[in-house]
Structure formats: C-alpha cells, structure tokens
Structure 1
C-alpha cells in the first residue's frame, strides 16, 4: 500500500486542505494518507481553535487514514524544529513512501537544491541568521537574507523564502536530508488563498487565518459553511455548543498572569524561549497597563487583554510569533534543560495515534514490525518526557473550555483513538 505523509494543523480543516489532499494522492499515486498533526498548541505559538481530537475527527472525515500527534516539544517551534519533529515521525514509523506539502511556489526543484546546500549548515550560517533575527525581522525574511549572504549568486529564488509555506517546505527537505530519509518529497502549489490572507475573495476557498478571525469575531460558524467540508462544519457547531470552541489566547490570561506574578525573574529565565532579559520585560509590562484596565478581558470594541499585553511586549527584537511561542512555554512550564538541542535532535520515541480508518488500521499493523517509534494507542504506564509534555498540554488546553470537566482535563488518559470503518477511498 503506497502511503503519502502530510504535515498539518487543520486549524480548522477547510476546502483548501481538501484540495491539497486530493492533489497529494494524485501526484504520488498513494493509496493511503498519514497526517502528522499539531496538538493543542501550534507553530506560530497559538492555542488551536479546537481540540486535537475535534481536528483529528475532521481529518478522518476528510479522508486521512492515520492521524498522529506532533509532540508539543516540536509543534510550537520555529520552522527548523517544527519540520524536523514532523519529518522525523513520518520517517521513523516506516510506512510512508512520500511526503507532499503545500507551497507558494509549487516548484520543488529550487527548494531541493537549497536544502542540499543547507543541510550541513555551519556555525557561520547560524551566526548570519541570528544576526538578522536580532534586527527584528521575521524568521522567513531573516532566513532568506542569511541564505543570500551565505550562498551568494548560487542562491536561487531566496526572496521566495519570505513566503511561510516555502520556508516550511525548505525545512521539510532539509530534515529529510539530515535524516537520510528514503521518503520522496513532492509539493502542491497553494490554491487561491494566501497563508495570511484575511479576505473572502473566493466563493469556496479561504485561508484558515480568515476563517479563525471570522469565527472568533462572530462566534457563529454560519459564515464559514461555504469554505469548509460539511463534516468540518458539523464538528464546529458541536464544539461551539459544548463550549469547547473557539479557543484563543484570551482564555489563558488568568493562568499566564498567575505564573508571571508568582515566579521571580530568575525562575522565569529558566523557561524555554526566554532570552536577553525577556523575563524582566514581561514583568515590567504589567505596570504599563492603564489604571483600572481589565487584565483578563477587553471592553466592547476595544482590543482584548491579551492583544493589549502583546502590543506592550512587542519590539523589533521580540516579534509577535516569538512572544507567542515564549508564552506557550510559560503556560506549559517547559524548561530550557528539557528542550535542549540534543533532546530535540534525538526525536520522540513514540507516535501518538489520534485517529485511524480501516486503511489506517492496516498501517498500524505494519508499524508493529516496521516502526522505530512505539505506536501509542493507549497510554503506557512508563512514559517519556515528551509524551508527558503532550498529556499536560492537553489538560492545560482544556482549561480554556467554558466549563471544563474532570473528563476534559484527563481526556488523554482514557480517550481511545477515533476510528472509522470507511474503506475504499
């Protein structure tokens, strides 16, 4: 059974994602699809709109055969580590033949050439990258400039790396090179809507960013219906009715503030992603809120408390995405010594199963003998640090529900993977 891997967030799953799945099957000739999907917290340092279980259910309904969770150690990271963790998982489970990712360019040749040049990047390249990052520009822009300076005239189309999907795609290819993977990469051009596009210019395709903003702003999924599969729409409605969506940063202001005020600067400095005195700035900005300003919500027609806080925190050095990733680690209590470069390079030793179809069940059977990672269908008694992080992250995420229950907080302990008997896709 030929199997293609995809790396996704599905926040939420929409018609553009369905197009990508259809194209992935077509250009790779795959019989089955494995998705590595971010859990509760995402690559840009945001809580997911819906739980990982709801999004895995959307993926299964859209035709994914096996959904595996990308550990939170990798999911809320810059492109390099996000890509490495996802590709590592696809490579080590031993049943994936190809990887197909979306990109703005739709051309894998120049990306592959760059990946081969950068797979063994030196400390000199890293210094260039860090220098540009410290100037306050975005990671894609900094990476593009560092490539141009490092490779000079041999750098092909470096400007295209300011496009987020091209940047991720390059890092997927670099990870394949570093892991000496036998997986064959393909790319599909992003269709109609850009990654950050907030408009609804097409009748059926809109970006996840636009859909999230609409849902969080209105609280009504009706406007999303033309842009998502009916199964996604149904799951959205259910989660809204149950008070489990939409989840955003404002739901976590109370625990974030508790951590900031209850820990010293020295304790905060030990949190992963904290650097260059950010722990002092974090405490200082609380004094900058106007007198009487609510710290856990925003007034009607005014920015939310979280947005107000982020505006105070942002500088050229500390971009929004950098700050959000830092706040994820603060919220989850992740320490620098837990997420060292050595620990991340070693990769996860498990593959957490969130959902599977009948074809996915066949892949799981193959994984028993071919996978170098332990397929986790039921939580084992003895668990690695990264798996413990995933479990704790799911519990923290559930605190964002309107009325979290014991079952919500402990869901990862007892909930089995979502199953579908659908076959013949």
Structure 2
C-alpha cells in the first residue's frame, strides 16, 4: 500500500460546527488526502478565553465528523499571538509528517498568501521600523502592524491583513517557509458567516462566536441547524453533567482573588504583563463586578480586548515570562495524542520512523516544562467544577488513553 497522504488543520472547535465540517470536506477534495489531522488547542484558546467544553469532548466532536487524528496544541502555543500560535502548530504538523495544510480564509486564494509572505520577507526591516513608530504613537500591536502594512502596501496589490483568518493564514504560510517544512499550504474560502458575526441566521453555517453567544443566553435549540447532531448532543450532555459551559464569568472570582492578593512585583513577572499593566489590572479589578466590566475598564487604544484576555489567562494560570520563554525556546518536547479513528491509527503506525519527538498517549508519560505547565492549566480549567468532578477529571487527564472512534 502507498503511504497515506495527510492534510493538517489547526483548530479550536469551540464548538465544532457546520463551517468546520465544510472545511474538512473541502480540504479532502482539494488535496486528495487519505487522512485529516487536527492539531487542537487545549483548555484555553488563542483569543485568551476558556474553551466552552473540555478538549476530550471537542475531540469527540471532531472524530465523529471526519477528523482521523486529534493531537494537542499545548497552552504554550494555544494562548499566543498569531505568529507564535502558528509556529507551534506547524512544528507539530511537520513532525507528524503531513503533506498538506489547509486553513479557512476570507481570501480563498493560496497564491495571494505565498505572494504576501515573499513580499513581507523582502520588506522586513522597513516593516519592523514602521511597527515601532506606530507603537510609540500609542497604537496597539495589531493596529500598528496593520498601519505599517498599509503604508508598505501602497504600491503593491497584496492580500489585506485586516481579517483574522487572513492574518492566521499568513502566519501559517510564513511558519512553513521559516521552518523549511515539506508541507504544501492550501486554503478554503470561508462561507456565509463572518468570524465575528454575533447572531445566528437561517443559514446552516454560523460563526462560533454567534453559537457561543446563543448558548450563553441558554437558547441551545437555536443552534441545532448550524452544528452537526453529535456536537449538539455532546454540548447538551456536558451542560447536564457539569452544570456549566465554561466562560470567563466562571473564573472571575478566582482571577479577582489572585490579582488582589498578589503584590505588583509578583504580577510583573507573569507573561504578557508589560509596561506597568500590573498596576492597571490591580486598580481596575477592585471595582469591577464582572469579567466583562473589568475588561471594559482595562481596555485602551494601546491594548486590544484579545491582548488583555490573554494577559488575564496568564494571570489566572500563574504563567511566568521565564516559563514561557523556556518552554517555547525549542521544539515541542512531546506531542500528545487525544483521539483517532482506525484510519488515523494506521497513519500513526506507518509514520513511526519519521517522528523525532515522542508521541505520547497519556500525560503521565510526559515530563519537562511543557508538561508541568499543561498539568497546572488543566487544574485551573477544571476549577469551576464540583470537587469530586474536578478530581475525577484530573485523574483522567493523567491516565486517559486517546479516544478511539471506529
């Protein structure tokens, strides 16, 4: 039998919806791949928020809807700006031996991404200079990069870097180029729902943002036509079992206690706590009645909501700059397998020789800083559950083998 061809997708599945199903089918068609591999964020996500259900439930959603293999994108990458997020995801997919990468974009044209990576590489020093200039004017980092890009781009027709999926797509293609990974990038045009669309319409495809908002309004019936039936059932079961779909509100009291009881000198050493933010977070949390209110009080022209949410995540999880620097200085120390189909298992067995990083099936088999951080993050994520549920879930985290869907 010829070697199986694999396409990789970087995902959060928060939760898995019809748009994701569409992407999987398009990725298979576009690449003629035999296997679809998802590298999935764990408990906290790129925009600095908790996943609404555990990684195990999201893994089940994926495996029941066309994904053959789910591996973990660890916290050290999953809660980072686009560049670091993409770098970690591509390193893992390259190690697994995927032939293709597929990502959703507002462009749908892979040549535009290749052209942009080449253009930005030739303009790097001028771009960096412009970003610094805009940041000195008090703009946020994303706004500064956007302004710098627009200024560079006056004479050149390239892809707009204003849409979130175009930004991520650019960084995926750049990471493949930087790492000299033997991966061919492909992109699927996003259909119907915009990334931040706040409401669900009659269309069968809705944004994850609108699905989460509808769920937070306790209106789960409204999402039935925009998610596969397995997603709907798994969300319903999780809510019934744990009385929760995780949001920042479930962690706010813990975060408030953490910030108020920690001296500013200790807050300062935590990851992404820069430029005197330790004073601002401490001052503003004293009067805030909710997470959302605190964020409104914190937000400035310089700091975006997403940037501040990521800071909140690192404050909550007590993740230091030193830890993050050490953990991301080298390649991932292991890859954790969360679930597979028979097809995925065959791929894993056939590509053993290719891998240089250990592929682990249980956290108990991992060690080093990456594992230490992941264990702590999982403990924090589970903290809103009842005590006996927390203990049972943490035990599972150590010893649970990958989910097998046949």
Equivalent residues in 2 for 1:189-268 (5 A)? 189-218=189-218, 220-243=219-242, 245-268=244-267
What SS does the aligned partner of 1:146 have? Answer: helix
- Extract unaligned runs of 5+ from structure 2: none
State the alpha-carbon separation in 1 of the partners of residues 24 and 138 from structure 2. Answer: 35
What SS does the aligned partner of 2:13 have? Answer: coil
Equivalent residues in 2 for 1:252-331 (5 A)? 252-289=251-288, 295=289, 305-331=290-316
Aligned mate of 1:354, from 338, 343, 361: 338
Report how far residue 244 of structure 1 moved: 5.6
State the alpha-carbon separation in 1 of the partners of residues 246 and 301 from structure 2. Answer: 28
Deviations 1:11-67 (A, max 9, x none): 000001100000000000011100000101001001011111110110000110000
State the alpha-carbon separation in 1 of the partners of residues 129 and 329 from structure 2. Answer: 20
Equivalent residues in 2 for 1:59-98 (5 A)? 59-94=62-97, 96-98=98-100
Report how far residue 365 of structure 1 moved: 1.3
Report how far residue 212 of structure 1 moved: 0.1
Out of 321-330 and 310-319, give the one that drifted further.
Answer: 310-319
Is 1:399–1:409's contact at 8 Å kept on the other side of the alignment?
no
Could you say if the C-alpha distance between residues 140 and 30 of structure 1 is closer, same or farther in structure 2, counting changes exceeding 3 Å?
farther
What SS does the aligned partner of 1:346 have? Answer: coil
Is 2:39–2:73's contact at 8 Å kept on the other side of the alignment?
yes
Report how far residue 315 of structure 1 moved: 1.0
TM-score, length of structure 2 as denominator length: 0.94
State the alpha-carbon separation in 2 of the partners of residues 37 and 288 from structure 1. Answer: 36
Task: Tell me what 1:170 maps to.
Answer: 170
Report how far residue 165 of structure 1 moved: 0.3
Task: Tell me what 1:47 maps to.
Answer: 50
State the alpha-carbon separation in 1 of the partners of residues 56 and 135 from structure 2. Answer: 35
Out of 347-356 and 128-137, give the one that drifted further.
Answer: 128-137
Task: Tell me what 1:372 maps to.
Answer: 356
State the alpha-carbon separation in 2 of the partners of residues 264 and 347 from structure 1. Answer: 33
Task: Tell me what 1:157 maps to.
Answer: 158
Out of 280-289 and 133-142, give the one that drifted further.
Answer: 133-142
What SS does the aligned partner of 1:383 have? Answer: coil
State the alpha-carbon separation in 1 of the partners of residues 138 and 47 from structure 2. Answer: 16
Deviations 1:213-265 (A, max 9, x none): 000122x4221111100111110110010126310001111221222122111
What SS does the aligned partner of 2:64 have? Answer: helix
Is 1:396–1:409's contact at 8 Å kept on the other side of the alignment?
no
Q: Give aligned pairs, total.
A: 402
State the alpha-carbon separation in 2 of the partners of residues 199 and 157 from structure 1. Answer: 31
Is 2:271–2:321's contact at 8 Å kept on the other side of the alignment?
yes
- Extract unaligned runs of 5+ from structure 1: 290-294, 296-304
State the alpha-carbon separation in 1 of the partners of residues 201 and 332 from structure 2. Answer: 41
State the alpha-carbon separation in 1 of the partners of residues 59 and 319 from structure 2. Answer: 25
State the alpha-carbon separation in 1 of the partners of residues 216 and 106 from structure 2. Answer: 27
What SS does the aligned partner of 1:162 have? Answer: coil
State the alpha-carbon separation in 2 of the partners of residues 345 and 132 from structure 1. Answer: 28
Is 1:118–1:174's contact at 8 Å kept on the other side of the alignment?
no
**C-alpha RMSD over aligned residues:** 2.0
Is 1:395–1:408's contact at 8 Å kept on the other side of the alignment?
no
Could you say if the C-alpha distance between residues 84 and 382 of structure 1 is closer, same or farther in structure 2, counting changes exceeding 3 Å?
closer
State the alpha-carbon separation in 2 of the partners of residues 308 and 332 from structure 1. Answer: 20
State the alpha-carbon separation in 1 of the partners of residues 243 and 258 from structure 2. Answer: 24
Is 2:363–2:371's contact at 8 Å kept on the other side of the alignment?
no
Is 1:91–1:183's contact at 8 Å kept on the other side of the alignment?
yes
Task: Tell me what 2:400 maps to.
Answer: 415
Deviations 1:259-311 (A, max 9, x none): 2122111110000000010000111113444xxxxx4xxxxxxxxx1111111
What SS does the aligned partner of 1:41 have? Answer: coil
Task: Tell me what 1:142 maps to.
Answer: 144
Task: Tell me what 2:181 maps to.
Answer: 181
